[in-house]
Chains A and B, each alone.
Chain A
Amino acid sequence: MRAFVVAVFGFLYLPIALVVLFSFNAGQHASEFTGFSVQWYGKALSNPFLVEALKNSLFIATTSALLAAVCGTGAALGLQRVGARTRALFDALLGAAIVVPGVVIGISTLVALVQLFAVLNPFLASLWPTDQPPRLALGYGSIIAAHGLFSMALVTMIVGTRLGSLDRNLVEASSDLYATPLTTFRSIVLPQIMPAVIAGFLLAFTFSFDDFIIAFFVAGAQTTLPIYVFASIRRGVTPEINAIATIVLAASVLLVLLAQWLLGRRKPSP
């Protein structure tokens, strides 16, 4: 039994450990370790295509996570005020959205966007005064929208849980002490749910930064970091890829740990 557990964890983490190890390899090949070096990190960061992909990923992750944090929090707040049945239905739909495979989300988002553009572009053109109307196309915007939409479900769930454990008496006490609903939200509710909102943002950021499948479908001509890595793997696994993977891994682990810490901190008092 114990050997079995060791084997499972070995299969899970050994490849990751190897990637990290070989990112510090001095040699050219991913198969033999010839000495310690950080040269591949330097090479990776001086590769203009890679840096471009990294910038794209950072921009998309930040924007979509912000979008998800704001809209998801709004949705969670709204769901507080609906009836128990509607609430249960929405909770189920949120859960479903999170477990739907990335491929399905990718394809359906792509189809939906293409259809939407097909309708909107002629409409925009008819409104535009000049000959060169803006054309909606796949790219930054569509990745941000797709990631934001998916992460919104995540944020809504996390913030909703926090709101559920928020003491209703605090809201009533604030109202009793002459605070208008807006002031109550600003000075009582928001500070109480802020850790959940930030944790949701961080998880959304991590998701977007790491996501390959959805981005691959809707990216159009844009390249994100995971797409770049995927593309360059066809030219063979170089220690440069290992270096990128290690950077992404470190950043992701850090953000997820931070989110966990925020969610685990002292809950609002009973």
Chain B
Amino acid sequence: MIPQRAPILELRGITKAFGGVEALRGVDFALFAGEIHGLVGENGAGKSTLMKIIAGVHAEFSGHFALDGKDTRFRSTRDAHAAGIAMVHQELSVAPDLSVAENVFLGTQPTNRFGLVQWRRMAREAGEQLAKFGIDVDPMSRLGDLPIGMQQLIEIARVLFSGARIVILDEPTSALSPPEVERLFATLRRLRDEGCAIVFISHFIEDILRVSDTVTVFRNGRKVAETESAATSKAALIEAMIGKGSEALGETYTDDIMLPPPTDRPAVLKADELTLARSLQDVSFEARGGEVLGIYGFMGCGQLELARILFGKIKPDRGTLIVGGEPKTFASTAAARRAGVAFVPESRRAMLFHQEPVYKNISISVLGRISALLLKPARERSIAARQVEQLQIRPAAVELELGMLSGGNQQKVALAKWLSYPPRLLVLCEPTRGMDVGAKNDVINIVRDLRAKGLAVIVLSTEPETVLSLADRIIVLKRGAVVREFTHEMVSKDRLLQAA
């Protein structure tokens, strides 16, 4: 399938470091006109970094970069655009309040000689071009009124119409329904046949295998495999992605581990058929005291929404929550807090007050218990000091402004705020993301302590290691639905990835 001619894009020995950490180490990569090239690898394996180099986002790197056989250096994304390279990022970047036609022609609207926009021509051409890709919408309708999947298709269409001959798609299918995925694939195949080169990044290995001609696998900043799609399988790709043996430092969770038998304690929380438009479909599970429930899935699988439903931030369209035996509909996060639920979001920025001292960050969750009307700053400080000592937060100064602490220590503060008067259920999103090994182990130990005290803990993560290192029971979410539950059985990273 690979055409036997010179590559349109050729990279050799690409190395890129961020602050001393090597994200890419001597990677070779070639892309041919008329091929769809799939990229797989875990989070942080280097595939996005490489694509950002190609799209001109990262201008600083070492190695050899040739376009059409000529040495090239992009200084910015504008240079890359001018050379016909376009990237569709995972997050939508459309203008929802503009019409479909305006989005298609964003920045390149047809104008007459007075500089006025030719609306009728724009609408007609947008309609024609979208129709070519099987998208049948009124070009003058507001983009934001369309389903997310359709918006994503239109964004992709815009990039394709801009005349790009190299198109990079980062996780394009995570928000799409199966028929929309089919439509996207049909479009990609047609573009390939017209001579475009397409890079397709996805966590969904089945999708990669179905649409791409070639697959490249990344691990730890290195390219570890490149094969024809027809000649490989999901299991082989997963094995290449995560590697066997202990190449990386620390535990890799590549071997099977045995989940403990389920506890017979009563359920602290029971979720029954939670459904949220475009995010969740009939999600049901139980969280029991003294147990850590892991919820694993790829980015965009509905985890973020699920966690926010549990803490009263989002109301589900359908389904019930039963907390401590009583059905609850949380009117606010304060109501969820009163019912004994605590929540640590995936982003520290959304959790902490960077301008305030550490002790105020810790005491905020207990003010209601320790003071009726007047604050008791001495009491707050002593509570905070105890947490700082127990969790070994460094530097151990409760008066210090939170923003002065390192990321790992900030994460511990985020946990500390819930520990002075522990809740019945603790919901943790990505509790160890971006942490070094030491801080990770500290967090793991904190969660184990809480479990020993009888708390129910729910850990939601897109990193299999996080779930495997913490959970006693694991459920896997895929496109908003529970697809697999692991209870008292063997589980490993590749089994999780297989399920998702």
A binds B: no
